């Protein structure tokens, strides 16, 4: 992989646009597949305001569909939402050639296996973005803070291509951290997300301060995090319990904010509930780990998201 | 107590209007204290459509405030909502004479003690209404089904006055069931309410069918009911676990409906969250009974009901 590396970003929302811009900045040839913002980005490119400077760029090509690409890329950077009704493997299919490395930068637990099975002959890298970006208008992204990408080969290891991707990302200006145990890193990242994201939805799209300040809020969020840690442990990934305390302290330290799932809920967009929480609940069932607080949030969220009859009387 | 019994209904919403009408029908002299619907009821009385026939009646007198009553009644029938910010004892004060029997027909667990302490010299009867009534317009009430009142002296026993009240209610056309252990009956009734009412709020005002049909919904509602039963047991009121199963079966059998707390939530009215669930949570803490599912619903409800900043972005 060199600076002549071809990258195709699939699902160029805020995260995809940002890492696309970083790789473009590093000299890679970056194209993008996007649906709703196709016209805007084709005409005007991505406009990306960042603490790193102006990251705006025109992709080499913009497609409506992976099937429109004349050739398959070296790297397929997959930044799709993991939601019911979206067949990620089908969306990727036409963009995956024999030498294509698939890089998932997506949320949730246990989201790689389906892709590994759909593309058994391809290198699969799983990645976790620690970045605060948001889409402020069609084709316009605001990068607010952070940017680190933690990633490794799935299910484990760090090979040459992963090292090269790290070098490219660092050249582009973000911290790149290869890990030989990316599933563990996924659990680590998810402890907070699994606890806070779905609970914030059931709490009506609550921000972090509202959640922690509610009577019993801190203890409840601790219980949720400790249950995620217990499931990770049952799956073979041990973490110290102090991790939950740390998560709470860090949440207290940063300004009140609504997480992405809370915003999706309030804006009526699809949510990654199954990828983030449902898969943890299923792992708990498999490993007979009691998770009464997580189960409560999950079932209440399922009830909440059901279509309900209109209000009578 | 005779058919010359004077009754003052305090908080004449649907429940108060209904039992007021029953006592009126039995020959008692029934007056009412109401605020928002004062003008309507003073002019037109209560219009009550019921399977028992037309229960419409004009109260002997209608007051805005208990302090306006020229004399204190034999029975003060208290049908106030038990919500934060409403000082029930203060609202009752002026209507309680030395011989007034206070009858609470209100929801929740542990709601009598405060009244018993405020009026130590008065007879206190605690009652549980098994009735489907709703207010359809100012002064207009629809009685849909049932009507049984289960009641007894607080904290226990059935005395002569309680027996007389039973006879009066039966004469008025409803089933009246005196019990010498009304606190136990309150727990019995609350098993369902504590489980379903607050959860339906957190589930966005869900009806019973939506709650039971959600993935994991039945098991979750069972867990909530079993936790209430465990707290009751720790407080000295044993119930068979089969009670939760029965609650679930009965809920399945009757048509899908939204409970009163769900309707309060959807209409933006104050809710009896503390009386129904908060007091059970506090009883669980006192008795060291683990209630992780109830705790989850409670904390999520507190988060949900917090005033939240407007949606950014």
The 3-class secondary structure across A233-276, one letter per residue, is: HHCCCCCCCHHHHHHHHHHHHCCCCCCHHHHHHHCCCCCCHHHH
Residue B2: band (very low, low, confident or very high) from pLDDT cuts 50, 70, 90: low
Nearest to A311 among B134, B266, B313 (CB): B266
Which of B199, B201, B223, B197 has the alpha carbon at shortest distance from B275?
B197
- Cβ–Cβ gap B214/A299 under 8 Å: yes
Which chain A residues in 190-209 lie under 8 Å from chain B, judged by CB atoms?
199, 202-207
Distant-in-sequence contacts of A224-228, Cβ < 8 A, 24+ apart: A224/A194, A224/A195, A224/A196, A224/A199, A224/A293, A224/A294, A224/A297, A225/A191, A225/A192, A225/A195, A227/A284, A227/A289, A227/A290, A227/A291, A227/A292, A227/A293, A227/A294, A228/A187, A228/A190, A228/A191, A228/A194, A228/A195, A228/A280, A228/A294
Report the distance separating Cα A73 and Cα A180, nearest Å.
24
- Cβ–Cβ gap B308/A223 under 8 Å: no
Helix (H, G, I), strand (E, B) or coil at B105: strand
Give the gap in angstroms from C-alpha B155 to the nearest C-alpha of chain A: 30
Burial of residue B310 (number of CB atoms within 10 Å: 0-12, 13-18, 19+)? exposed
A303 touches chain B (CB under 8 A): yes
Give the gap in angstroms from C-alpha B265 to the nearest C-alpha of chain A: 11
Please give the mean pLDDT across all residues of chain B: 95
Nearest to B202 among A263, A267, A300 (CB): A300
Question: Chains A, B: CB contacts under 8 A, how many?
Answer: 125
User: A199: which chain B residues are within 8 Å (Cβ-Cβ)?
Assistant: 300, 303
Architecture (CATH level 2) of domain A6-180:
3-Layer(aba) Sandwich (3.40)
Does pLDDT of B3 surpass 60?
no
**CA nearest B291 in A: which residue?**
A292
- Cβ–Cβ gap B296/A300 under 8 Å: yes
A293 touches chain B (CB under 8 A): yes
Question: pLDDT of B125-138, one tens digit each?
Answer: 999 999 999 999 99
Does pLDDT of B9 surpass 70?
yes
Residue found by looking up tokens 């669980």 in the block: B284
A300 touches chain B (CB under 8 A): yes
The mean pLDDT of B11-25, rounded to a whole number, is 95
Report the distance separating Cα A304 and Cα B26, nearest Å.
45
Domain extent listing, chain A: 6-180, 184-306
A220 touches chain B (CB under 8 A): yes
Question: pLDDT of A268-285, one tens digit each?
Answer: 999 999 999 999 999 999
The gap from C-alpha B283 to its chain's centroid, in whole angstroms, comes to: 19
Give, for B246, the enclosing helix (H) or strand (E).
helix B242-253
- Cβ–Cβ gap A311/B210 under 8 Å: no
User: A202: which chain B residues are within 8 Å (Cβ-Cβ)?
Assistant: 202-203, 300, 304
Contact A267, B182 (CB under 8 A): no
- Cβ–Cβ gap B296/A220 under 8 Å: yes
A266 touches chain B (CB under 8 A): yes
A94 touches chain B (CB under 8 A): no
A280 touches chain B (CB under 8 A): no
pTM summary value: 0.93
| pLDDT value of residue B241 | 80
- Cβ–Cβ gap A216/B295 under 8 Å: yes
- Cβ–Cβ gap A296/B293 under 8 Å: yes
CATH class, B184-306 region: mainly alpha
| pLDDT value of residue A1 | 60
B85 touches chain A (CB under 8 A): no
**CA nearest B304 in A: which residue?**
A203
Nearest to B313 among A134, A223, A295 (CB): A134
Query: Angle formed by the axes of helices B182-202 and B292-305, to 10°?
Result: 60
The mean pLDDT of B204-219, rounded to a whole number, is 96
- Cβ–Cβ gap B296/A297 under 8 Å: yes
Give the gap in angstroms from C-alpha B151 to the nearest C-alpha of chain A: 30
| pLDDT value of residue A2 | 58
| pLDDT value of residue A16 | 97
- Cβ–Cβ gap A303/B210 under 8 Å: yes
Three-class SS string for chain A? CCCCCEEEEECCCHHHHHHHHHHHHCCCEEEEECCCCHHHHHHHCEEEEECCEECCECCCCEECCHHHCCCCCCEEEECCCCCCCCCHHHHHHHHCCCCCEEEEECCCCCCCHHHHHHCCCCCEEEEEEEEEEEEEECCEEEEEEEEEEEEEECCCCCCHHHHHHHHHHHHHCCCEEECCCHHHHHHHHHHHHHHHHHHHHHCCCCCHHHHHHCCCHHHHHHHHHHHHHHHHHHCCCCCCCHHHHHHHHHHHHCCCCCCHHHHHHHCCCCCCHHHHHHHHHHHHHHCCCCCHHHHHHHHHHHHHHCCCCCCCC
A299 touches chain B (CB under 8 A): yes
User: A214: which chain B residues are within 8 Å (Cβ-Cβ)?
Assistant: 299, 302-303, 306
pLDDT averaged over 10-residue windows placed end to end, chain A, 313 residues: 84 94 97 94 96 96 95 97 94 97 97 98 97 93 95 98 98 97 96 97 97 97 98 96 94 92 94 97 98 98 90 63
Beta-carbon contacts of residue A226 (< 8 Å; ≥ 6 apart)? A241, A244
Query: Angle formed by the axes of helices A182-202 and B292-305, to 10°?
Result: 60
B311 touches chain A (CB under 8 A): yes
């Amino acid at each position: 992989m060199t600076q002549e590396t071809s990258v195709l970003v699939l699902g160029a929302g805020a995260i995809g646009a940002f890492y696309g811009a970083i790789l473009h900045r590093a000299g890679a040839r970056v194209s993008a597949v996007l649906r709703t913002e196709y016209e805007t980005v084709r005409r005007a490119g991505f406009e990306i305001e960042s603490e790193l400077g102006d990251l705006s760029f025109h992709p080499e090509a913009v497609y409506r569909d992976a099937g429109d690409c004349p050739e398959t890329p070296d790297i397929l950077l997959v930044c799709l939402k993991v939601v019911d009704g979206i067949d990620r493997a089908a969306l990727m299919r036409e963009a995956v050639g024999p030498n294509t490395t698939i890089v998932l930068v997506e949320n949730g637990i246990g989201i790689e296996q389906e892709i590994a099975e759909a593309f058994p002959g391809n290198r699969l890298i799983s990645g976790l973005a620690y970045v605060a970006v948001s889409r402020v208008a069609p084709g316009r992204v605001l990068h607010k803070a952070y940017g680190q990408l933690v990633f490794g080969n799935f299910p484990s290891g760090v090979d040459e291509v992963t090292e090269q991707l790290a070098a490219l990302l660092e050249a582009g200006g973000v911290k790149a951290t290869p890990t030989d145990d990316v599933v563990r890193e996924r659990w680590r990242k998810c402890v907070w997300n699994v606890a806070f994201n779905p609970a914030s939805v059931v709490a009506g799209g609550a921000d972090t301060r509202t959640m922690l300040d509610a009577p019993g809020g801190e203890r409840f969020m601790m219980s949720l995090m400790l249950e995620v840690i217990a499931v990770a442990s049952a799956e073979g990934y041990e973490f110290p319990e102090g991790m939950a305390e740390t998560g709470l302290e860090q949440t207290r330290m940063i300004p009140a904010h609504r997480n992405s799932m809370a915003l999706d809920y309030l804006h009526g967009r699809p949510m990654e509930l199954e990828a983030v929480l449902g898969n943890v609940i299923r792992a708990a069932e498999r490993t007979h780990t009691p998770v009464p607080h997580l189960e409560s949030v999950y079932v209440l969220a399922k009830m909440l998201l059901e279509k309900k009859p209109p209000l009578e009387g």
